[in-house]
Structure 1
Amino acid sequence: MSPNPIVLSIPIFFLLIGIELLIERFTHQKLYRLPDTIANLSCGITQQLSGLFLKIFAVGAYQYLFEHYTLFTWERNALYWLVLFLLVDLSYYWAHRMSHEVNLFWGGHVVHHQSEEYNLSVALRQSSLQVVWTFGFSLPIAFFGFETLDFVLISSLNTLYQFWIHTETIGKLGWFEYIFNTPSHHRVHHGRDPKYIDKNHAGSLIIWDRMFGTFQAEEEKPTYGITKPLNSWNAVFANVSHYVDMQKDLQRIPKWSDRIRYLFKKPGWLPDYLGGYRAAPAVDKAAYRKYETPSGLLLTSYVLFQYVLCLAGTALFLFSQKQADGSDRFTTTENLFITILISVVVVNCSVLFEGRAWVKRTEWFRIVLYPALLIVAVYLNTWPVWLYGVGALYFIISASWFYFICTHEKS
């Protein structure tokens, strides 16, 4: 089983999402939309899968500094844990703040802000690339003698704390608001209204925003999302969309010096001769419409069927990363191959809602390929023969169901 606290918390995440769905049902609020929720979960899946490769690099850098350049030796007492918690949370604040204020870094964080809803599934909408830009902010902690596994544990707990604050079902919390990050504070952070942009970067403690001048109390209800809506449910495109826009801007900038400045200036910056900084526009709440892709019951139920299987398979894969003796169960090549297989499913499930012509072809290819791969794997590994039946049954159900969709319903 994986020792990653975030992976171990997956059942709790889904339990709490289920509770929020019940609250939505009984209070008649509109908190969730299925395509948006699937897109959020898909970004979380791709982030966890990419983390199998990228997080090891980040932790490895910390371990190297700890082994060779640590300046102190600590007794692991209450003070040790308190100081480590404060340093982790402070480094998170600055990494998070710079992810909003540096264009290059924003490309690795924007994924988390793309949803136009605000619910617990948004907490799971994470970028696959953010760690590339932000892991360095926490590396100085290694110089102060905090062991690598302890750092990883506190960092994970800091991330876990932030799950519950992604909800509209909890109002303001009195005195708690002065010290800790809360749903009210974080709703502000996800607002695209000009007064809310680049505010409340806290992880666990809101005190950093109050100290460094980035605090904003929640007043009117925020409009969620980003100033240039993604208008797609595709998790892979979500991770690269900002860099696609950056490439277009860079092609417009003639001077190399300005191109370098563009990378490290705030999102929206352009040289004066190209119009200068593009400030966030005010939101016309009367005219504002969320991205919608209406779909029929057949398609919706089909996507749910495929996605539930994908979630179960992904969870099993992540939980099975380590063997009982602590060694890796899969090679890097095997991890990469399974990651690609899962990524195809999450992209197809999301894009089927968009009705793109190409997704029908890739879905037919997948319906044929995946059972065939299972049958080959059973044969090569002498797995139980009943898995042949599972592969055949999956093919029959998926192929007949999807054929019916393609011939009877616009997708």
Structure 2
Amino acid sequence: MHLNYLALAVPFFLTFMGLEYLVAQKKRKRYFKFNDTVANISVGIAERLLDTFTVGLFYFIYDYLYRRYALFDIKASVLLWVALLMCTDFIWYWYHRLAHEVTVLWCAHVVHHQSEEFNYTVSARITVFQAFIRTGFWAILPVIGFPPAMITSMLLVHGLYPFFIHTRTIGKLGILEYILVTPSHHRVHHASNPKYLDKNYGDVFIIWDKLFGTFQKEEEEPVYGLTKPLESNSFLWQHFHFILEMLYSVRAARGWRNRLRVIFGKPDNVDPAARAVLEESFLLRNRSITETPKLNNYVVWQIATTLTLLFAFLLLQYYVPVFIQVCVTLLILLTLINCGAILEQKRWVFYLEYARYGVLCFALFYCWPHPSLVTLAGLVLATAIYYQSRLRKEYYRLVYGYTRT
């Protein structure tokens, strides 16, 4: 069978997340919060899922640039693999630094810094927007002359290392602190303490930060998250809030020079009042949230089922028809939106179940195109609509533990 063994990354990373949780529990440290962990894993699921549709495009870009514009004909050797590692890490430093210093790039990167905890699940907070931007930076590698196969292999290895530095369970690492980016260095990077802001951009090697004056040693206890906490579990809001804040600020700015300064200047140029205004329009925050075991259990089961579906989908990707791939993608994304909405106890979350039901029906009909299936699906939907009021109350009771109107 022609399996996609990159799917094994899912259980691999989940295993280390579980081990870190057990270590934290043994040390009696509260390094994990339920809502934070669910949000982190949800973002990671979406990125891994959408990555299946973009990785081929990225390889095509590298191959196109290599065949047409390569300056040197580089052949794989030990020294050139080392050179590629150093070039990749150097480019990463500048991508990462500019992602903090340029508003339009921060729109994509801000998601990675929203968590107010710091553990292995935070490493999953990578969006497909970031993947596109990084590809633009790494496009210099095939132009230099590194073959696409070498680049892709290096990016897989280079992308693995940062996972292990998102942790509070590992202290300082002696002499390695002078060479590599360690958990201690990266804790500083994720902190919102004034002295820690915009420091330690490196991915594997800390030497770039020391060369370019952005290094900061971990001293006082870091406070994690954004300087202005997001205070939302919404999957959609986490992805798009800063894009909306930027657009709001662009619209409010006078003159093209000021508008361009908002987009390509520092994120500080975004109107600090924008978020509050946009929250009133888009977030509709529920101020009376009460966590219940039923709510948490329902979310856990949804995330567990989604992870299982994601693993099977990635492993058998080459055998799944395109239409079913689209259905699986929609189903997973709707579920992630559903989980975020449930954590915020939104009233409209009930209607997402209709959307998920519709996607399932389309997928089943594709696999078994029989008229009786359409009739049955229509009868179920008609019955649900007829008894909608009663179903909605029962849904809220089962999910939230109480009846909502």
TM-score of the pair, normalised by structure 2: 0.84
* Structure 2 counterparts to residues 222-301 of structure 1, below 5 A: 222-269=222-269, 294-301=290-297
Aligned equivalents of 1:38, 1:406: Cα separation in 2:
16
Which of the numbers 356, 368, 392 marks the counterpart of 2:346?
356
Q: In the alignment, residue 357 of structure 1 is paired with which amino acid?
A: R
Deviation at 1:105, TM superposition (A): 0.3
Aligned equivalents of 1:268, 1:409: Cα separation in 2:
43
Q: Residue 156 of structure 1 aligns to a residue in which SS?
A: helix
Q: Do residues 405 (structure 1) and 394 (structure 2) align? A: no
Aligned equivalents of 1:208, 1:141: Cα separation in 2:
18
Q: In the alignment, residue 220 of structure 1 is paired with which amino acid?
A: E
**Cα gap change, 1:251 to 1:75, in 2 (>3 Å):** closer
Q: Do residues 312 (structure 1) and 308 (structure 2) align? A: yes
Which of the numbers 312, 315, 331 marks the counterpart of 1:341?
331
**Cα gap change, 1:227 to 1:30, in 2 (>3 Å):** same
* Contact 1:367 1:399 (C-alpha < 8 Å) held by counterparts: no
Aligned equivalents of 1:233, 1:212: Cα separation in 2:
36
Structure number having the greater helix percentage:
2
**Cα gap change, 1:406 to 1:158, in 2 (>3 Å):** closer
**Cα gap change, 1:84 to 1:219, in 2 (>3 Å):** same
**Alignment length (residue pairs):** 372
Aligned equivalents of 2:239, 2:302: Cα separation in 1:
22
Residue in structure 2 matched with residue 287 of structure 1 by the alignment: none
**Cα gap change, 1:53 to 1:371, in 2 (>3 Å):** closer
**Cα gap change, 1:57 to 1:99, in 2 (>3 Å):** same
Q: Residue 331 of structure 2 aligns to a residue in which SS?
A: helix
Q: Do residues 61 (structure 1) and 61 (structure 2) align? A: yes
Deviation track 1:347-382 (CA, whole Å, cap 9, x = no partner) reads 10122011111112323x25644654564355239x
* Structure 2 counterparts to residues 60-79 of structure 1, below 5 A: 60-79=60-79
* Structure 2 counterparts to residues 116-195 of structure 1, below 5 A: 116-195=116-195
* Contact 1:189 1:200 (C-alpha < 8 Å) held by counterparts: yes
Deviation at 1:405, TM superposition (A): 1.9
* Contact 2:295 2:401 (C-alpha < 8 Å) held by counterparts: no
* Structure 2 counterparts to residues 212-231 of structure 1, below 5 A: 212-231=212-231
* Contact 2:111 2:238 (C-alpha < 8 Å) held by counterparts: yes
* Structure 2 counterparts to residues 76-95 of structure 1, below 5 A: 76-95=76-95
* Contact 1:352 1:360 (C-alpha < 8 Å) held by counterparts: no
Aligned equivalents of 2:393, 2:308: Cα separation in 1:
22
Deviation at 1:258, TM superposition (A): 1.4
Aligned equivalents of 1:407, 1:166: Cα separation in 2:
32
* Contact 1:128 1:239 (C-alpha < 8 Å) held by counterparts: no
Aligned equivalents of 1:228, 1:374: Cα separation in 2:
42
- What stretches of structure 1 of length at least 5 have no aligned partner? 276-290, 324-328, 382-387, 389-394
Deviation at 1:294, TM superposition (A): 4.1
Aligned equivalents of 1:105, 1:292: Cα separation in 2:
35
**Cα gap change, 1:371 to 1:56, in 2 (>3 Å):** closer
Q: Residue 221 of structure 1 aligns to a residue in which SS?
A: coil
Aligned equivalents of 1:14, 1:408: Cα separation in 2:
29
Q: In the alignment, residue 317 of structure 2 is paired with which amino acid?
A: Q
TM-score of the pair, normalised by structure 1: 0.83
Aligned equivalents of 1:244, 1:376: Cα separation in 2:
38
Comparing 225-234 with 114-123, which one deviates more in the overlay? Answer: 225-234
Aligned equivalents of 1:367, 1:142: Cα separation in 2:
42
Q: In the alignment, residue 103 of structure 1 is paired with which amino acid?
A: T
* Contact 1:111 1:238 (C-alpha < 8 Å) held by counterparts: yes
Q: Residue 72 of structure 2 aligns to a residue in which SS?
A: coil
Aligned equivalents of 1:4, 1:83: Cα separation in 2:
27
Q: Residue 89 of structure 2 aligns to a residue in which SS?
A: helix
Comparing 230-239 with 163-172, which one deviates more in the overlay? Answer: 230-239
* Contact 2:292 2:401 (C-alpha < 8 Å) held by counterparts: no
* Contact 1:46 1:235 (C-alpha < 8 Å) held by counterparts: no
Comparing 20-29 with 101-110, which one deviates more in the overlay? Answer: 20-29
Comparing 181-190 with 351-360, which one deviates more in the overlay? Answer: 351-360
Deviation track 1:187-227 (CA, whole Å, cap 9, x = no partner) reads 00101112111111111111111111111111111111112
Q: Residue 21 of structure 1 aligns to a residue in which SS?
A: helix
Aligned equivalents of 1:292, 1:163: Cα separation in 2:
36
Deviation track 1:47-91 (CA, whole Å, cap 9, x = no partner) reads 122323344333322211101111222332101211111111111
Q: In the alignment, residue 341 of structure 2 is paired with which amino acid?
A: V
Residue in structure 1 matched with residue 283 of structure 2 by the alignment: none
Deviation at 1:117, TM superposition (A): 0.6
Aligned equivalents of 1:54, 1:151: Cα separation in 2:
16
**Cα gap change, 1:110 to 1:293, in 2 (>3 Å):** farther
Q: In the alignment, residue 211 of structure 1 is paired with which amino acid?
A: L
* Contact 2:102 2:266 (C-alpha < 8 Å) held by counterparts: yes
Deviation track 1:92-123 (CA, whole Å, cap 9, x = no partner) reads 11111110111000001010000011010000
Deviation track 1:217-250 (CA, whole Å, cap 9, x = no partner) reads 1111111111222222122221111111111111
Q: In the alignment, residue 212 of structure 2 is paired with which amino acid?
A: F
Aligned equivalents of 2:400, 2:65: Cα separation in 1:
60
